[in-house]
Amino acid sequence: MQLQPIQTTEAITSQDFINGYFKQATPLIFQNFLQDRSILTKWTYGYLTEKAGNVVVDLYGREDAFNEWVTSPPVDKMKLSHYLDLIRSQPTDLRLFLFNLLKKSPELKQELQINDITNGKILSWLPFMFFGGKGSSVRYHYDIDMSHVFLTQLYGVKRVLLFPLDQSAQLYRLPYNFHGIANLGDPDYTYYPALRRLQGYECILHPGDTLYIPSGFWHYIQYVTDGYSISYRALSESYWQRLLGLRNIFITRRFDNLMRRLFKEEWYTYKVNMAFRRAKG
Q: What is the mean pLDDT of residues 126-151?
A: 93
* Number of domains comprising the chain: 1
Q: List the CATH number of the domain containing 21.
A: 2.60.120.650
Question: Is 176 a residue whose pLDDT tops 90?
Answer: yes
Question: Is 98 a residue whose pLDDT tops 90?
Answer: no
Asked whether the beta carbons of 117 and 28 are under 8 A apart, the reply is no
Q: Give the range among 44-48, 121-125, 148-152, 271-275 with minimum mean pLDDT.
A: 121-125
Q: What is the mean pLDDT of residues 87-99?
A: 91
Spatial neighbors of 1 by CB under 8 A, at least 6 apart, are 161, 184, 187, 195, 196, 198, 199, 200
Q: What is the mean pLDDT of the chain?
A: 93
The boundaries of the domain holding residue 48 are 2-279
What tens digit of pLDDT does each residue of 27-74 get?
Answer: 999 999 999 999 999 999 999 999 999 999 999 887 665 666 666 778
* DSSP element (H, E) containing 171: none
Question: Is 281 a residue whose pLDDT tops 80?
Answer: no
Question: Is 9 a residue whose pLDDT tops 70?
Answer: yes
Determine the pLDDT at residue 105: 85
pTM of structure: 0.93
Determine the pLDDT at residue 125: 85
Determine the pLDDT at residue 223: 95
Asked whether the beta carbons of 201 and 24 are under 8 A apart, the reply is no
